[in-house]
Every structure is written in structure tokens, then in C-alpha cells.
Structure 1
Amino acid sequence: MTASDRTPADLLRSALAQEPARPLVTFYDDATGERVELSVATFANWVAKTANLLQGELSAEPGDRLALLLPAHWQSAVWLLACSSVGVVADVGGDASRADLVVSGPDTLEEARACSGERVALALRPLGGRFPQPPAGFADYAVEVPGQGDQFVPYAPVDPHAAALAVAGTELSGTQVVERALHDAAGVGLAPGARLLSGQAYDSWDGLSNGLYAPLAAGASVVLCRNLGRLADGGLEKRVESERVTHSVAH
């Protein structure tokens, strides 16, 4: 990171400038057998496209509140960084009825319908696939995002001291997210090149930090595992070895 890294989006920009080809997020879903590996450059491209969708097509502005109703998933990580890029508050598991817009997975669509603003749905299918039939009242992320621009420029500068993330009753600014992520990374000894395996949900600060923010802040990478409990005996040990994991937070 650099001295100018005051938001999570700044951390990603620095990582892209320094080591675009290194792995950043490796995602497993042990219910489907899916494995996706995203380099810094590939992840940043998804973030740019999503931020353009958020700012352009969805007309989101700094300070708007987005209810993020998604599990721990690589696409959830993309949305968190896209919100940071635009200046939108990512309210993880937030009340859709109080949000300006909502992003939902397939299991929370009814809850998401409480939002009177723009609604986006993610099928969370392997390879970022679309819904076979788009949910009524929602834009299908997999349909909308591919045509967005590969470079993102916010209409207005993002205030690093403004609210950026809300999770489990705690609201943090962009600067506070970065500071906490750096503290967490130092606490477990994450260094550039480290690989942190996390099986934690994205419903707490610890889950978000271990599953995205701390590795990003440290120049490390994350092996993000959904449905880790479905691994057969010995499966976790094999994954730790095959993925060259240096740190692990399975639960």
C-alpha cells in the first residue's frame, strides 16, 4: 500500500499498479465444486465494470445506501470494492426497505423486494452465469455487467472519511476500513505473498476482513471458501497444500 491509500478502492488501485498478475481472490464453493481464481487485474476489471454499472445505469451517488444481501463469494467482494469506488455505503445484510438500492443473491429475493429503489440480482452460478429466467423486478447482474466500461472514473471524489461500510451494527468510513484491515493483517502476520484461507461468512467484520480486506491491505491473497463444511475428510488439508495456504481461518 501507499500513503495515499485511504479507502479499499485505493488499496486495489495500488495493488493493480504494483502486481497486476498476482492472485488476489481464489474462490471455492464446495456445494457445487466451483473454483475461480482472479488476479489483481481481473478482479479490478470486474470492480470497474460493476462501479460503472452502479454509477451509470443505477444512478447511485456518494452517500447512497446499498443493501448487500450476498454470501461470502467472489462477486460479493467485487461489489464491496465497487461501492467503495463510487462512495456508496455497502450495508452488508442490511434492511432493504431502508436502502436506496439492493443487490441480492438467489436466496434473498423476497427480502430484497422491500427496496423501492433499483434492484440487482446475482444468480451466483459457476463462471458468473446468468439466471435461466431473470427474477421479476430485478436487473440480472450477469446480463448487465459485461457491457460496462473497463475503466472507472467517479463523477465526484470519494470522501475517505464518509461512511463506507456497515456490518453487524457497526458503520465504518473508508479510512477506518483500511486502518482495521491493516491492524488485522499485522495481527496474524500477513505479509506480501501470503495466502489466507477463510471459510467465514461475510456477515461480520471478521469475516469481511479475513475474506477480503486484510489480505488486500497486506499485499496478500485470499482463498475464500463457501460451504467449506461439505469437504470430505482430509479435503481441507489437501486444499491448504495445493493452494499454498500460509494462514487459515476456517470458521
Structure 2
Amino acid sequence: MPNLTTALLEPILATDPAGPRITYYDDATGERVELSAITLANWAAKTANFLCDEFTLMPGARVSVLLPAHWQTAAVLLGAWWAGLEVTLEADPDADAALVTADRLDDVADAPEVAVLSLDAFGRPVPDLPVGVTDYATAVRVHGDQFRPGSAGSAALDGRGVDDVLTAARAVAVAQNVSGSDRVLSTRSWATTDDLIAGLVSVLAAGASLVQVSNPDDAAMTRRVESEKVTAQLAT
């Protein structure tokens, strides 16, 4: 089976590996983090190695991802797909593992393996985690930043196969007039399958660059269009 992350990242890595690929803002905290395709691929590789080595997940396993729209979430998703896993955006009682924020721990209490993300810009761990719960920031950093993907499972995202996800993402990109030369501004949530396809996967599938903003401030957004050389905006 094809691999979703390979399909998304290989064309970008071949054409523009060093240019900005995801620029993340949180207007509530002032955070700004920018990742090139190379850096994004390195984070995805670390995540894939972590999921395979520490959680011993095999292609076709299911992993619940209960995380907001964030650059670290993109790394988690791409890492999971690179490892051939199926991502579900809900608390799935049949999932083999879960990656969540601390406030969603109760939702995945029965998951065999759980990793918690602080989403801290400086990689600080989550304090006072329960025994048996893994801190993502601490665990992932020791893993290699290269990953050789193997086979993929039959599904990639909430029951949809790789081809289905790519077809839907490319259709959204066409509908939003997004192409590989675009710098795309978005405040969309990634909470549902359709939101994630529209807000992240479509941008990567088009070969475009994403400026993702959390807690948007209207005044800052107006300036950002110019400062980030935004050429397209995703409808909310």
C-alpha cells in the first residue's frame, strides 16, 4: 500500500527542502515557530521511530490523536502515517495507542499506550504525569531523525485509505485555488477528518506552505498577511 506521508513530503523535499513549510503562530502567547520541509520530515521521522520502537506499533495499528492544530500535531500525524498507522481523531476504545494533551487524558484512560504533548515551544515536559503515561517531548527527542517506511495499513485516516485522503485533499486545494507557489494562511481547526484534510493535508498535497494561526488576533492577522507574504487564505 502507498504511504501518505511519503506521498505528501517526497515532492516537497525534492523541490524545496529548505523553504518554510509550516509557520505556526499562537497570538495568545506570541509564539512563532517555522519549520522547513527538512525539519518537518525530521520531526515526523522521530515520531515514527518513537511509535514503532517504544510503543511497538505495526503497520495497520490504530492511534487516537486528540491534539489541536499545531506544528507538533503535524509532526505526530506525519510520523504516524509514515509508520503505516491509521489515525483516528476521536477517543477510540479499540485504538492501540493515543497521543493527547494533558486535559484529554481521561478520554483515553483505557488505551494500551498513551503519550502526552505539552505543545511547549521549548520542549518542556508535562509535569506530574500518571505512572505508565509517556511524555512525548522527553521520549521523542532521543529517536533518530531518519525513518525508512515500510508497508502501510489499508486505512490512513478514520477509515479512509491513502488514495481517498489524497483525492479529497487535492479536490479541496483546487476548490480553494491553492497551488504549490502559495503561502496559505489558515485558522482552521483540525478536529474532524474533513477539517484536517482541508486545513493541513490539502496544503501539503498542493506543495504549498502553511501559516497556521491559533487564537487569532484580528489586528495581528492583518499585518501578518503582508509580513508572511500570504497569497491565499483557507475559508473557515
Aligned-partner Cα distance in 2 for 1:32–1:107: 19
Q: Which runs of 5 or more residues in structure 1 are unaligned?
A: none
Equivalent position of 1:203 in the other structure = 191
Matched, 1:249 2:234: yes
CA RMSD of aligned residues (A): 1.9
Matches within 5 A, 1:17-96: 17-95=14-92
Equivalent position of 2:225 in the other structure = 240
Matched, 1:164 2:156: yes
* Amino acid aligned to 2:196: L
Equivalent position of 1:182 in the other structure = 170
Aligned-partner Cα distance in 2 for 1:242–1:22: 16
TM-score by length of structure 2 reads: 0.93
1:188 deviates by 1.4
* Amino acid aligned to 2:60: G
Aligned-partner Cα distance in 2 for 1:181–1:242: 27
1:197-216: CA deviation from partner (whole Å, max 9, x where unpaired): 11111112342133311111
1:249 deviates by 2.8
Aligned-partner Cα distance in 1 for 2:71–2:134: 19
* Amino acid aligned to 1:113: A
1:192-232: CA deviation from partner (whole Å, max 9, x where unpaired): 2201111111112342133311111111011111122xx1x
Aligned-partner Cα distance in 2 for 1:58–1:205: 24
- Contact conserved, 2:176 with 2:234, CA < 8 A, in 1? no
1:133 deviates by 3.6
* Amino acid aligned to 1:28: Y
Equivalent position of 1:145 in the other structure = 140
Equivalent position of 2:203 in the other structure = 215
Equivalent position of 1:12 in the other structure = 9
How many residue pairs get aligned? The number is 236
1:93 deviates by 2.5
Q: Which runs of 5 or more residues in structure 2 are unaligned?
A: none
Equivalent position of 2:120 in the other structure = 125
1:45-80: CA deviation from partner (whole Å, max 9, x where unpaired): 000010000111110111111011111111111111
- Contact conserved, 1:196 with 1:249, CA < 8 A, in 2? yes
* Amino acid aligned to 1:217: A
- Contact conserved, 1:26 with 1:38, CA < 8 A, in 2? yes
* Amino acid aligned to 2:220: G
User: What is the identity percentage for the equivalent residue pairs of Structure 1 and Structure 2?
Assistant: 41
- Contact conserved, 2:22 with 2:34, CA < 8 A, in 1? yes
